[in-house]
Chains A and B, each alone.
Chain A
Amino acid sequence: MKNRLRWWSGLGIIFILLLGLVWACAPAPAEEPAPLAEGPSFPIEVTDQAGRVVRVDKMPEKIVSLAPSNTEIVYALGLEDRLVGVTEYCDYPEAAKEKPKIGGYSSVDVEKVVEIQPDLILAANIHKKEVIPRLEELGLTVLTLDPKTIDQVLEAINLAGRVTGKVEEASALTAEMEARIKAVTDKTETIPEAERPRVFYILWHDPLRTVSAESRIHELIIKAGGINIASDLEGGYPTISLEAVIMANPEVIIAGSGHGSGKDAPFQFAMTEPRLAEVEARKQGRVYEIDANLTSRPGPRIVDGLEQMAQFIHPELF
Chain B
Amino acid sequence: MEIAAPTHLPQWRGRIYGIIGLIILLALVVVLAVSVGSVNIPFLTTSSILLSKVPLVGANPGWSGALETIILDIRLPRVILAGVVGAALATAGATYQGLFRNPLADPYLIGVAQGAALGAVIGFLLPTTWQGTGFGLIPLLAFAGALFSTAVVYNLARVGKTLPMTTLILAGVALGALLGSIVSYLIISSGEQMHGIIFWLMGSFSLSQWSEVRIVLPYVLVGAAVILLYARPLNIMQLDEEQAQQLGIDVERLKLILLAAATLITAAAVSFVGTIGFVGIITPHAVRLIWGADHRFLLPLSVLSGAIFLILADLLARTVLAPTEIPIGVITALCGAPFFLYLLRRRKKVIF
Contacts and interface: CB of A to CB of B under 8 A. Distances in A.
Interface of A: 89, 104, 107, 204-209, 233-235, 238-244, 246-247, 249, 258-269, 272-275, 278
Contacts of B131: 206, 262, 265, 268
A244 B38 contact: yes
Contact of B206 (A208, A264, A265, A274): A208
Contacts of A259: 192
A273 B318 CA distance: 20
Contacts of A258: 192
B323 A207 contact: no
Given A242-B74, A275-B74, A261 B193 contact: yes
Interface stretch (B63-71, B171-179, B256-264, B297-305): B63-71
Interface stretch (B9-17, B122-130, B223-231): B122-130
Contacts of A242: 74, 206-207
B66 A278 contact: yes
16 contacts: A207-B199, A207-B204, A234-B324, A241-B206, A242-B206, A244-B323, A246-B66, A246-B69, A246-B70, A247-B66, A260-B192, A261-B128, A262-B193, A264-B129, A268-B130, A278-B65
Interface in B163-215: 188, 191-193, 195-196, 199, 204, 206-207, 209
B139 to A, nearest CB: 12
A243 B74 contact: yes
A239 to B, nearest CB: 5
Contact of A241 (B192, B193, B318): B318
B250 interface: no
B129 A263 contact: yes
Nearest to A104: B191
Contacts of B126: 261
A260 B127 contact: yes
B133 interface: yes
Interface of B: 37-39, 65-66, 69-70, 73-75, 124-133, 188, 191-193, 195-196, 199, 204, 206-207, 209, 318, 321-325
Contacts of B37: 241, 243
A294 to B, nearest CB: 16
A96 B132 CA distance: 31
Contacts of B39: 241, 243-244, 246-247
Given A204-B196, A241-B318, A261-B193, A235 B133 contact: no
Given A104-B191, A247-B39, A266-B132, 12 more contacts: A207-B196, A234-B321, A240-B323, A244-B38, A244-B322, A244-B323, A247-B66, A261-B125, A261-B128, A268-B131, A275-B73, A278-B69
Nearest to A245: B323
Contacts of A264: 129, 132
A278 B207 CA distance: 17
Contacts of A235: 324
